[in-house]
Amino acid sequence: MSKEKTSFGQSDIVRLSDEDAATELLERAVTGLWEVVNELTRFRRTTRQNYRVTIFGSARRAVTEVHRNLPPSALYEHAIRHEKDASIAENGALVAYSGVKTGRSPKDKRVVEHAASKNDVWWGPVNIPCDERTFQINRQRALDYLNTCERLYCFDGFAGWDQKHRIKVRVICSRPYHALFMHTMLIRPTREELTTFGTPDFVIYNAGAFPANRLTTGMGSTTSIDLSLEAEELVILGTEYAGEMKKGVFTVANYFAPKRGLLSMHCSATADKKTGLSSLLFGLSGTGKTTLSADPKRHLVGDDEHVWSDDGIFNIEGGCYAKAINLTPENEPDIFQALRFGAVLENVVLDEDRDVDYTDTSITENTRGAYPIEFIQNAKIPCVAGHPTDIIFLTCDAFGVLPPVSALSPAHAMYHFISGYTAKVAGTEVGVTEPQATFSPCFGGPFLVWHPSKYAELLAEKMRKHKARVWLVNTGWAGGGYGTGKRISLKNTRAIQSSVLTLSLNVPACLRKFCSRAKPGPTNLLTTPPRRDSLLCSTRISEPTPQVRAPR
């Protein structure tokens, strides 16, 4: 073989006339290039059934294992083996960590602006539009990342306990923690239902460990949660906070339910053990929906997301997602005992004995626990109930202005429902470290798709038809605002709730018409301003039966 050294002394020059040498050089070059690609993408030989990798257009593949619908015990095993920080707490729950993002990122949510749904969506800071091309870029980025992972997890579940209205959801992710979380939060199909599951109605691609490209049109950061109502897909990049998947499903329900004449609601629900009739508790994260719905005197229907249909109400989820900060068996015994094997504890700290230190907020104040709803002893399975007799709006007043409990007229109920005054409490969103006043329409503004009036009209119609009573309960501060007053105790709030549901409040006779089951008059619930006597204020909360009086 004829060779000449270059002046750099690093490469061999091969003359094209030397056929053998040229062939050898080409073989070495191709082999070397393949090794570079192999290192960059961690390609491994696998079966034909696995996903293709598209980053380099190669026919070789990276995914060697695809695990579908694993039981909790297997997901525990995978988490301990493959997630460096995962562990098992002494109570049996899987402890996992979501990384940098320990709360939702509402400013990074995008909805595809499509001709079919463009006129339905309430565009603005809640639903920030993106074009189809941007969605496809992020979707492909997510798929490319997932296809470089050694193993993937797929979970199929249902959203909605009413079989007439349920949504088939498929979750594809790279972390067993995320698979177990959605196994907990969605309704778990039976073996027979899995065999006939078929094509899902909604798919979540969770590539949260991989960032979005902030140079992509419309991206504000390396985090992006993109929803296409037409493709019925959710793409997650740049955040491993599991709550984004849960709320993505709820957002989809918030679009399709009103389109079918159903009212989707950000509320918890309980049912009377004798009559089966329900009560609803509306409120944003941190107002007490989950805690107050764990009432031993009533059946639990669900803690966060429900739909009101012509047949009654039903839960969207198959699990509960409770705040774990300062959790004790004395204050919240039902939730405390529910955090056991099969549950997920998120961003908590363990002590030397592997017990959970629920007071430790060194990682985040938004520590959370997710558990199947049947872990609550008095849960109503299936999670359906009759029409509500009472609707309670929970508000966390950070300024100490609102009374602990108020009875609302129909007009005032619509005012509070649309305005949705509350306070964001520490940890529920990234960057929130102390209460901040906010107005969240329908007590679920971050998850609405239609204009708030769409949900208000449906609520007004159902309130009128089923003669539901409405109350405003303050779970925030009394005697002054945050830093001056004192937060109303859970014990007192529970006493108020019990009195509301049993109608044992001492309501002035002139105002009892707003709390009775009598049919409301022809008042326009959406346009008539509330009268002065439509708000009843309680100034004493220490008695077993709270006293309620009209304002002066």
C-alpha to C-alpha distances, 273 to 62, 296, 304, 468, 544, nearest whole angstrom? 53, 10, 20, 18, 22
For residue 488, give the 3-state DSSP assignment. coil
CB 61 within 8 A of CB 53: yes
Question: For residue 515, what is the DSSP state?
Answer: T
Among residues 178, 289, 298, 299, the one annotated as catalytic is 289
Among residues 285, 287, 291, 389, the one annotated as catalytic is 285
For the record, the structure tokens of 438 come out as: 């906010």
Amino acid at 388: P
For the record, the structure tokens of 145 come out as: 């990342």
Name the strand (E) or helix (H) holding 16: none
For the record, the structure tokens of 299 come out as: 């059946």
Q: Which residue has the tokens 């619930």?
A: 525
**Beta strands in 44-108, from DSSP E residues, in sequence order:** 65-68, 87-88, 94-96
Among residues 61, 141, 166, 247, the one annotated as catalytic is 247
**Residue (of 216, 204, 166) closest to 383 by Cα position:** 166
**Beta strands in 15-119, from DSSP E residues, in sequence order:** 65-68, 87-88, 94-96, 109-112
Task: Report the alpha-carbon distance of residue 96 to residue 296 in Å, rounded.
Answer: 29
Examine the residue annotation and report whether 247 is marked as an active-site residue of this protein: yes
Examine the residue annotation and report whether 290 is marked as an active-site residue of this protein: yes
**Residue (of 327, 462, 459, 487) closest to 393 by Cα position:** 459
For residue 350, give the 3-state DSSP assignment. strand
CB 462 within 8 A of CB 398: no
Examine the residue annotation and report whether 273 is marked as an active-site residue of this protein: no
Among residues 61, 78, 101, 104, the one annotated as catalytic is 104
Examine the residue annotation and report whether 285 is marked as an active-site residue of this protein: yes
Among residues 304, 334, 390, 397, the one annotated as catalytic is 304
For the record, the structure tokens of 503 come out as: 């109608």
**Residue (of 160, 193, 153, 104) closest to 301 by Cα position:** 160
Amino acid at 136: Q
Examine the residue annotation and report whether 84 is marked as an active-site residue of this protein: no
Among residues 165, 168, 266, 416, the one annotated as catalytic is 266
Task: Report the alpha-carbon distance of residue 117 to residue 418 in Å, rounded.
Answer: 23
Task: Report the alpha-carbon distance of residue 80 to residue 306 in Å, rounded.
Answer: 34
Buried b (16+ CB within 10 A) or exposed e, 18-27: eeebeeeeee
For residue 438, give the 3-state DSSP assignment. strand
Among residues 224, 264, 290, 428, the one annotated as catalytic is 290
CB atoms within 10 A of CB 486: 11
Examine the residue annotation and report whether 368 is marked as an active-site residue of this protein: yes
> SS3 for 151-203, per residue?
EEEEEEEEECCCCCCCEEEEEEECCHHHHHHHHHHCECCCHHHHHCCCCCCEE
Examine the residue annotation and report whether 260 is marked as an active-site residue of this protein: no
462's CB contacts (< 8 A; 6+ apart) are 263, 308, 387, 468
**Known catalytic residues?**
104, 247, 266, 285, 289-290, 304, 368
